[in-house]
Amino acid sequence: MQTIKVQKLTKEAFAPFGEVLTTEGREAGGNPASHLWYPQAVVIDDPTSINLMRVLQHEFVLKDFEGHDHTTENLIAMDGDLIVGVAAAGELKAENVTAFYIPCGLGISLKPSVWHAVPFAVGKDVMSVCIFKNNTSHDDIYFDALEEEIGLTL
């Protein structure tokens, strides 16, 4: 089985696949005595659904991927760290697969048509938020699988 090293999540490394959901590099508004406000980190299609997903611990092996052509998919790690495997839009090929480590409290916004796998929980089950155009998981989802599994190393 081929293995790939999980990459650190940076704006530059993730740019081909979408955006990193972070406050880093953004100017804050709000009232500094009570809150810092970072508006429009990502603007997505209406109507939007906010979905919860508990990611259960499972083996760090990539095989099955999904994609959506008509929405961005936004994934935020709420109470633990996640790993997500991604590949460029188009034909799913093993040589185009990479994986990113998403620390607790950060997230990603995947561009439409980017292949992505179900996330992996690191060290414990992890609650996450998934935000996308309403009914995406019913009306705008397709699947593919790699010919051979890819293992992940930290």
Residue by residue, pLDDT tens for the chain (154 residues) are 999 999 999 999 999 999 999 888 888 888 888 888 888 788 776 799 999 999 999 999 999 999 999 999 999 999 999 999 999 999 999 999 999 999 999 999 999 999 999 999 999 999 999 999 999 988 999 999 999 999 999 9
Would you state the pLDDT for residue 15?
96
pTM of the predicted model as reported, rounded to 2 decimal places: 0.89
Distance (Å, whole) CA 21 – CA 37: 14
pLDDT at 115: 98
Write out pLDDT tens, residues 23-56: 888 888 888 888 888 887 887 767 999 999 999 9
pLDDT, tens digit, 9 for 90 and up, residues 105-115: 999 999 999 99
What local confidence, expressed as pLDDT, does residue 40 receive? Answer: 79
